[in-house]
Each structure stands twice: as structure tokens, then as C-alpha cells.
């Protein structure tokens, strides 16, 4: 049996009271951009409100603060890995032999390394480190180092929940909803990178999908950049457009789009194989061109690779963090949030992990080297897949992880075109981080706000963009 948390306020409404608060809150969401484009009825001219839970989810204050405090250290860890070519090469060596997508990314990384990157050249990281509560302590699920989403919308969700709490007569509890400046922090990071590039006419390039469903989140970033610095222009392009002649690299390695120099490249796409669809590889050509350019990449390909599941697993191996940090306190703090992670390489250690999971599949999650949700294997299927992969080198393209079992919490889930559902939920906390540095030094390192995603407890994954989760915000309590 999973543990339970109590809702932050009573959620027993009669049907007319529920209808009133839900209708009003949906309108609040629509009017403040807590919205997405519909996959079912797509139109570039309309948006739906994004799924949300009616009241903020109870979350232990101590654990929230722990995750917030840890973020600059998480940023530094990724920075150190991303700047360690030998580490990435060794760690991803086997993965690269069995996973063509990671191998292709790695090839670009090697190409630019061998061509020589100047030590002064900066990279930017806009990360989101995701956690779930295991009993009562936060455990790291993964670190997103590319296209970390929802900083824009989640700052509005904090305000949406303040509004709901007031509507429900609980205005006295607002101090338990922590401030959230995720959007300001991430856009501030991009503008800092823009200033470092130091070319007043240069633009910020967003790399986007052909169709963007999470458009409000992306536009919030664009509009926030304008707000913080009215002189900076944002340009949106897909990798396909860039690869089909939409960008050139000049003799000084400046990235030029329609005659405009690019100072900063912000990736909201490019983390999944289907985002490189063309048979002639033009999207890969574009990725290489960007990587070769002197524009500041958020992220560079090295940060992207540092966020792979394989790297996460190797970092959790005994002694590895100690090689990265010569500070026992830092190592202990990071290790404290790790959960069991196991290599599935074709060797004795990998065989032991596979056998352990075949015996007790419900205790583990099987993860391929993919991002973006919907790729992991759960439950009985863990055993089936591992049996199929016995003696198959492809097994090494997966990692195994202990399943985290967060406490359940009852809440109303509100989705477009669906009646409100009273359900048992569980949540995943994301903490954003911003880091800018070159290979010699870190120039900026900060925590960048938070987000909470909540899913029905029976769903394995709760991606909001993928359609399984709902937006939420933490209501902090002393437990
Ligand atoms: P992705 O890169 O696809 O987002 P994640 O590692 O974040 O990969 O996994 C996707 C989702 O699967 C998470 O958001 C979470 O809901 C669930 N999940 C991942 N790892 C675990 C775990 N160890 N225990 C429980 N659920 C997990
Ligand atoms: Mg994830």
C-alpha cells in the first residue's frame, strides 16, 4: 500500500459549487495562457486550457527546500561532465555501438571537439531536474538538459492556484504556495548569454518543431525576453528549415539567418529521433552547423549528452561522483537524492541486474536512451523485454532504475472536454537551473524556479505535453 497525503483543503464540493469554481478557473486559465494547442482539433487559431488539478498538491516543505538548494550543485555536476570529453567518451562508448541516435549526437560532439573549440567559447544550460517523493524524501528521476519545458506556464499555474485558494475561502494560506520565477530565470539566462556574445544586432534563435502544441509555454519565453530587453529579437525555425538552406555559417563561424547574426540558440526540439525526419539527413546537417558556429548554444551538444540516462546511471556508481568533485559534502548531498540505478551492459554486472528485474519486475523501470516521455517500460513488461534481450548487445542501450513510489493524494483533475474527475494522484517536482560557462570557468550558476506535474496514480507516465498529466503547484507543509 502506498502512503497518502492529505489534500491542502477540503475538496468535497456539492455539484453546483464544483461547477462554479471549475468553470471560473477554466476561464482564468484560458485568459492567462495556461493553455496548449489541441492535438485532436488542431488549429493555429485556437488554444485549449492545459490540464490542471483544481487545488495545489500537498508537498513536504523540507524536501522542496532540499531540492531547491541542491540545484546549483546539480548544475555544476552537469557542467563538469559536459566539459569532460574523456568521461563522456568512455561512458557512452557501449551505448554508441547499439543506439544509433545517441551515436549520431556523439559524432557531432567528436567532430567539433576534434576541430577544436576555443576555451573562451560559452555554453548555456537551462536544466530541469525532476524528483518524486519516495515515502517522504525526494529522489531524482532524471535531469533534463535540453528543451526543459513548462517554465512559462508553471509560473501562471502558481497564480492560478492562488486564485482558486482565494475563491475557496482559503486566502489565509497563500504563503504556503512558494513564489515561482521560472520564466524570468530561464529568459534571464538566455539574455545573459546574449550579453556575453556582445553583438547588439544579433538575435536569439528558438529551434522548434514543425507544429508546436506547447506554444504558450514557448511564446511566454519569447515575450519575456522582449520584456526584459526590448532590443532583443527572437526568431523561430525548425531544424528542417535550417538544414534546407535556412541558415549559413560565414567565414568567422557566425551563424546567419536571413541576414541576421544569431547570438544564442535555444533548443525546444532536437532531442528525439523523429525530430530528424529527412532521409537526406538535413536536420543533422543543421545540428552540426549550429554546433560548429560561435553562437552560444542552450544547450551545446556536450550538455545534451551529459543529460543521457546512461550518464545518470554511471554517475550513481560508487566512486564516480568523487572523481568529479573533490568535496565530500557536495558528493553526499548529491548522492542523497539518487535512487538505485543499474547498468545493463552485457557483462556479469548487467546479467545480475537483469536477473534481479526478471524476478521482481514491478520494482523497476527499464529506460532506453530517449527523452520526451512514453519510452520507458514498466511492470511485467520489464521482465519480458529483458528476457528477449538476453545475450543481445542492444540490452546495453537501456538502464534499469528502482521504481519510486510517491504518496497518493486525492484531487480533482480538470481536462478540456471532460467532466472533472476525482482521482488518486501522484506528483513529480521539477526544479529549473541555469548555468553559463566556458571550459575554463563557470560564469553564472543559479536555481531557476519550479514546476509540479501530477498524474492519475495508475498512469505510468505523466507528461503534460504527452497528454497524461496535469499541471500543478506545491502547497508546502511541515510533515
Ligand atoms: P523522459 O526523458 O521520457 O521524460 P523520465 O526518466 O523522466 O524520461 O521518465 C518518464 C516518466 O516516467 C517520469 O516523468 C515518471 O512519471 C516516470 N518514471 C521515471 N522513472 C521513474 C521511477 N524510477 N519511478 C517511478 N516512476 C518513474
Ligand atoms: Mg522526464
Please name the residues in contact with 28: beta carbons below 8 A apart, sequence gap of 6 or more: 34, 160, 163
Higher pLDDT, 435 or 135: 435
Residue 402 CA, closest ligand 1 atom number: 23
Closest listed residue to residue 140, CA positions, set 433, 476, 410, 412 = 433
- Helix extents (H) in 317-379: 320-324, 328-336, 348-359
Predicted pLDDT at 2: 73
270, 274, 324, 275: which is closest to 297 by C-alpha? 270
The pick from 376, 453, 468 for probing ligand 1's pocket by mutation, whose C-beta has the most ligand atoms within 8 angstroms, reads 376
Is the distance from the beta carbon of residue 462 to the nearest atom of ligand 1 less than 6 Å? yes
453 is catalytic: yes
Does the active-site annotation cover 107? no
pLDDT digits (tens, 9 = 90+) for 93-132: 999 899 999 999 999 999 999 998 877 889 999 999 999 9
* Residue 140 to residue 54: CA distance in whole angstroms: 26
For residue 299, whether the previous peptide bond is cis, meaning omega lies within 30 degrees of 0, is yes
- Ligand 1 binding pocket includes 372 (Cβ within 6 Å): yes
Element (H, E) at 145: none
How many beta carbons lie within 10 A of that of residue 44, not counting itself?
A: 9
DSSP percent split of the chain into helix, strand, coil, nearest 5? 40, 25, 35
Q: Is 254 exposed, middle or buried (0-12, 13-18, 19+ CB in 10 A)?
A: middle
Does the annotation count 384 as an active-site position? no
58 contacts 475 by C-beta, under 8 angstroms: yes
Please enumerate in sequence order all residues whose Cβ is within 8 A of that of 238, keeping only pairs 6 or more positions apart, or say none: 207, 208, 209, 210, 269
* Position 135 confidence tier, pLDDT thresholds 50, 70, 90: confident
Confidence of residue 467 (pLDDT cuts 50, 70, 90): low
Judged by its nearest atom, the ligand closest to the C-alpha of residue 375 is: 1
β-strand partners of 129: 143, 431
CB of 311 within 6 A of ligand 1: the answer is no
Give the pLDDT mean for 369-392: 94
pLDDT tens digits, one per residue of 34-75 = 999 999 889 999 999 999 999 999 999 999 999 999 999 999
The mean per-residue pLDDT over the stretch 352-364 comes to 98
β-partners of residue 451 are 430
pLDDT exceeds 80 at position 343: yes
Q: 253: phi > 0 → left, psi -120 to 50 → alpha, else beta; which?
A: left
- Look up 372 and say whether it is catalytic: yes
Residue that is written with C-alpha cell 488549429 in the block = 43
Q: Are 146 and 269 in contact (CB under 8 A)?
A: no
Radius of gyration for the alpha carbons in the chain, expressed in angstroms and rounded:
22
Set of cell numbers at residue 397? 542501450
What pLDDT is stored for residue 151 in this prediction? 98
**Residue 366 in contact with ligand 1 by CB distance below 6 A:** no
User: What is the 8-class DSSP label of residue 214?
Assistant: S
Helix ranges restricted to H, 175-238:
182-197, 215-228
- Residue 310, Cα to own-chain centre: how many angstroms? 16
Quote the ligand 1 centre to 406 CA distance (angstroms).
Answer: 12
Q: At 393, is the secondary structure helix, strand, or coil? A: helix
Least confident of 23-32, 52-61, 115-124, 308-317: 115-124
Among the listed residues 63, 142, 283, 428, the single catalytic one is 142
Kindly give the number of the ligand 1 atom that is closest to the alpha carbon of 374.
3
The question of whether 352 is a catalytic residue gets the answer: no
The number of the ligand 1 atom at minimal distance from the alpha carbon of 364 is: 23
In the residue annotation, 20 being an active-site residue is answered as no
Averaged pLDDT for residues 379-389: 97
Q: Any catalytic annotation for residue 371?
A: yes
| Ligand (nearest to CA of 369) | 1
CA distance 223 to 221: 6
Contact 411, 462 (CB under 8 A): no
pLDDT tens-digit readout, 232-286: 999 999 999 999 999 999 999 999 999 999 999 999 999 999 999 999 999 999 9
User: Residue 373 has what pLDDT?
Assistant: 85
Query: Is the pLDDT score of 304 beyond 80?
Result: yes
The answer to whether residues 296 and 438 touch, using CB atoms and an 8 Å cutoff, is: no
Q: How far is residue 353's CA from residue 344's CA, in Å, rounded to a whole number?
A: 7
Position 1 scores a pLDDT of: 59
Per the annotation, the verdict on 149 as an active-site residue is: yes
Pairwise CA distance, residues 319 & 326, whole Å: 11
Q: Which residues contact 232 (CB under 8 A, 6 or more apart)?
A: 191, 194, 203, 204, 225, 226
Atom index in ligand 1 nearest the CA of residue 406 equals: 25
> Looking at ligand 1, which atom is closest to the CA of residue 462?
16
CA of 144 to the centre of ligand 2 (A): 7
Measured CA to CA, the distance from residue 25 to residue 408 in angstroms comes to: 24
Judged by its nearest atom, the ligand closest to the C-alpha of residue 271 is 1
Cα–Cα distance, 376 to 367 (Å, whole number): 5
Whether the pLDDT of residue 466 is over 90: the answer is no
Amino acid at each position: 500500500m502506498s502512503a497518502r497525503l492529505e489534500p491542502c483543503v477540503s475538496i468535497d464540493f456539492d455539484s453546483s459549487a464544483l461547477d462554479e469554481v471549475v468553470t471560473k478557473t477554466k476561464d482564468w486559465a484560458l485568459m492567462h495562457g495556461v493553455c496548449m494547442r489541441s492535438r485532436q482539433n488542431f488549429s493555429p487559431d485556437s488554444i485549449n486550457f492545459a490540464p490542471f488539478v483544481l487545488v495545489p498538491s500537498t508537498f513536504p516543505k523540507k524536501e522542496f527546500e532540499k531540492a531547491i538548494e541542491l540545484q546549483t550543485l546539480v548544475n555544476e555536476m552537469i557542467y563538469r561532465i559536459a566539459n569532460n570529453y574523456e568521461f563522456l567518451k568512455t561512458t557512452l562508448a557501449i551505448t554508441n555501438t547499439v543506439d544509433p541516435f545517441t551515436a549520431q549526437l556523439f559524432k557531432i560532439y567528436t567532430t567539433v571537439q576534434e576541430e577544436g573549440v576555443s576555451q573562451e567559447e560559452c555554453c548555456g544550460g537551462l536544466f530541469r531536474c525532476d524528483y518524486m517523493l519516495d515515502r517522504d524524501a525526494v529522489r531524482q528521476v532524471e535531469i533534463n538538459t535540453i528543451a526543459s519545458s513548462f517554465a512559462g506556464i508553471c509560473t501562471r499555474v502558481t497564480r492560478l492556484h492562488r486564485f482558486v485558494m482565494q475563491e475557496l475561502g482559503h486566502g489565509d494560506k497563500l504563503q504556503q504556495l512558494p513564489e515561482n520565477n521560472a520564466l524570468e530565470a530561464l529568459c534571464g539566462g538566455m539574455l545573459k548569454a546574449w550579453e556575453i556574445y556582445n553583438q547588439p544586432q544579433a538575435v536569439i534563435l528558438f529551434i522548434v518543431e514543425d507544429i508546436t502544441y506547447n506554444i504558450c509555454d514557448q511564446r511566454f519565453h519569447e515575450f519575456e525576453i522582449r520584456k526584459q530587453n526590448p532590443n532583443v529579437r527572437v526568431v523561430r525555425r525548425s531544424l528542417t528549415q535550417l538544414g534546407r538552406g535556412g541558415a549559413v555559417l560565414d567565414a568567422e563561424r557566425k551563424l546567419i539567418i536571413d541576414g541576421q547574426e544569431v547570438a544564442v540558440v535555444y533548443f525546444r526540439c532536437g532531442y528525439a529521433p523523429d525530430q530528424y525526419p529527412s532521409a537526406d539527413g538535413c536536420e543533422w546537417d543543421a545540428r552540426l552547423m549550429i554546433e560548429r558556429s560561435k553562437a552560444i548554444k542552450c544547450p551545446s551538444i556536450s550538455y545534451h549528452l551529459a543529460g543521457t540516462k546512461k550518464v545518470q546511471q554511471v554517475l550513481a556508481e560508487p566512486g564516480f561522483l568523487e572523481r568529479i568533485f573533490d568535496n565530500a559534502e557536495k558528493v553526499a548531498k548529491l548522492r542523497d537524492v539518487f535512487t538505485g540505478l543499474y547498468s545493463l551492459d552485457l557483462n556479469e554486472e548487467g546479467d545480475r541486474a537483469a536477473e534481479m528485474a526478471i524476478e521482481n519486475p514491478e520494482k523497476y523501470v527499464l529506460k532506453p536512451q530517449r527523452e520526451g516521455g512514453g519510452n520507458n517500460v514498466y511492470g511485467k513488461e520489464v521482465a519480458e523485454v529483458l528476457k528477449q534481450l538476453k545475450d543481445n548487445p542492444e540490452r546495453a542501450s537501456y538502464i534499469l532504475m528502482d521504481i519510486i513510489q510517491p504518496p497518493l493524494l486525492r484531487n480533482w483533475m480538470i481536462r478540456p472536454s471532460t467532466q472533472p474527475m476525482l482521482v488518486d494522484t501522484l506528483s513529480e517536482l521539477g526544479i529549473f537551473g541555469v548555468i553559463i560557462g566556458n571550459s575554463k570557468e563557470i560564469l553564472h550558476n543559479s536555481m531557476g524556479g519550479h514546476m509540479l506535474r501530477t498524474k492519475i496514480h495508475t498512469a505510468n507516465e505523466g507528461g503534460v505535453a504527452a497528454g497524461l498529466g496535469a499541471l500543478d503547484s506545491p502547497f508546502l507543509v511541515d510533515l
